[in-house]
A and B are shown apart, each in its own frame.
Chain A
Amino acid sequence: MGSLTEESAAWAASLENDGNAFAVIFDLHRDRVYHHALRMTIDVHVAEDVVAATFFELWRRRKSVRVVDGSVLPWLLVTTTNISRNLTRGIRRYRALIASLPRATEMRSSEDLALETIEEIRLAAKVREAMGTLPPADAALIALTAFERYSPAQAAAALGITEGAARTRLHRARVRIAAALGNLEVDTNVTKETSR
């Protein structure tokens, strides 16, 4: 993970159409974005599509991207959440481009994924279902604070809302997601992370 000053410099250079600098941003954040996409979609192949669409969106919407504490990662995670929740719409713009990208011949199947991390998959499916019950902005807030450990203030900045509004929404979202998740382990994690 590079320093924030490195990211700031790379982002500034990207905005001047420096493709190598944009690749630096991609290298810095692709793993976090991919892991979050996996959590939201479960399927490795779909998660990769989401990563691609997220970074193309980062470029397309570069003029209005919210940079939080020198980083575009919170914006990327919000966008990942939104695209994952509505795959058809989120990926449509880039479908042909993504389909043209080569993949390794050793294709991974969902069975491989299940065998490797069965507990995680079970939990992820439950989390995904619970996230689906939330309004989009609330799901993004949960993703940023509970899963990615941003503070409510940083999450608020990423979403362009006040910290007070973020805390109110988080409280509401926490209650709803806890109800949806029942007594799964993640329930306590969500409550702990968002109540700081």
Chain B
Amino acid sequence: MSTMEMDPVFTGALREALKATVMDSPRVRRRWRWRTGTGVLLGVTLVAGGVAVASGLFSPPGAPVDTLLGSVISATRTGTASVDIGAPPATATDVSLALTCLTAGSFDFPDGSSMTCDATDLTRPSIYRTASEVVPLTAGVDSVTIQTSPDATWTLQVTYVNQVKTSWGVNANGQTYGVSNQQGTPDLIAVVVDQGKTQGYVEQRELNCASGGDVKSLSEAATWNETSKNRNITIPVYENDGVTIIGTFTVGSATGPNVRTVPLSSLSLGC
């Protein structure tokens, strides 16, 4: 056995222990990102959205409707800290949180979801480094605690809300339409394109296909990622009938002189 190689028995056991650790760990949500392409997928972000409520965005079927109760409290802190939000109004069901990072670091919401910010994020407008959450009330708790990496500075905007859940719509062809929620993902998924001017739906199947959802292995994923550096794919945006086309939704965020933007219908992706 060469000393320049690890003990193969130890290596094999360590590899299995690492795999087990990864698979047994609590799941961390993906990094929160607002889409920078030409369309916004209305999904968890809007469902979560104190910000969406405040800006009065289109509220499609399946999205909970939040009504703000009282004023918005804004507080800036460094490191793990709590923000006092006072006693909840009688009709409050949830707390709406919008967290903006002011320095690099990692930031954990009370429900375990998290956001990380790096130096690049800090050069961008604050909306690109703000994550929103709506978390259910916890009886007897009238403060919100954000856990962070050491010395990470953040601003939290927080308010009580009354949340009413809604159901997906169903069109004449039997397709469900609306936003993804705890029931799953509808056949037609709500999107906003043209910088907010057009609101419509993309087909779940077409979105998955254009997003590389059919990739089955790491090597296929690597090939897909390589191709996606120079390619964006457009898919149709429909009315809620799933037939009338009212715009296009761009999947991918490739930029540069060599980037092609092509309709999904022109590709043979087999999905």
Contact = CB atoms under 8 A, between A and B. Distances in A.
Interface of A: 3, 5-6, 8-10, 12-24, 26-27, 30-31, 34-35, 38, 44, 48, 51-52, 55-56, 59, 62-64, 66, 97, 101-104, 106, 108, 112-113, 116-117, 160
B267 interface: no
Interface in B3-44: 3-11, 13-15, 17-23, 25, 27-28, 30
Nearest to B229: A5
B6 A64 contact: no
Interface stretch (B74-82, B220-228, B256-264): B220-228
A143 B133 CA distance: 41
Contacts of A15: 28, 30
Interface string B116-144: 10110000000000000000000000000
A134 to B, nearest CB: 22
B105 interface: yes
Contact of B225 (A8, A38, A56, A97): A8
Nearest to A14: B22
A27 B223 CA distance: 20
A101 B22 contact: no
Given A5-B226, A56-B18, A112-B3, 8 more contacts: A8-B222, A13-B221, A14-B22, A44-B7, A51-B14, A66-B118, A101-B10, A104-B7
A38 B5 CA distance: 10
A13 B9 CA distance: 26
A55 B14 CA distance: 9
Interface of B: 1-11, 13-15, 17-23, 25, 27-28, 30, 104-106, 114, 116, 118-119, 149, 218-219, 221-223, 225-226
A93 to B, nearest CB: 12
A64 B14 contact: no
Given A19-B19, A55-B18, A116-B3, A9 B218 contact: yes
B9 A38 contact: no
Contacts of B222: 3, 5-6, 8-9
Contacts of B225: 5, 8-9
Which 6 residue pairs across A and B have the least CB separation, nearest first?
A: A19-B19, A9-B221, A19-B23, A5-B222, A101-B13, A19-B22
Given A19-B20, A20-B19, A104 B226 contact: no
B139 to A, nearest CB: 29
B21 A59 contact: yes
18 contacts: A3-B222, A5-B225, A6-B222, A10-B218, A12-B221, A17-B25, A19-B18, A19-B20, A22-B22, A51-B6, A56-B18, A63-B106, A102-B13, A103-B7, A104-B1, A104-B9, A108-B3, A160-B104
Nearest to B115: A63
B157 to A, nearest CB: 22
Nearest to B149: A64
Nearest to A157: B119
Contacts of A59: 18, 21-22, 25
A102 B27 contact: no
A6 B14 contact: no
B17 A34 contact: no
A101 B17 CA distance: 8
Contacts of B15: 23, 26-27
A108 B17 CA distance: 22
A8 to B, nearest CB: 6
B19 A23 contact: yes
B11 A30 contact: yes
Contact of A104 (B10, B114, B223): B10
B218 A21 contact: yes
Nearest to B104: A160
Contacts of B19: 19-20, 22-23
B223 to A, nearest CB: 8
A24 B14 contact: no
A63 B32 CA distance: 12
Contact of B7 (A21, A48, A64): A48
Contacts of A9: 218, 221-222, 225
A103 B9 contact: yes
Contact of A64 (B13, B22, B23, B116): B116
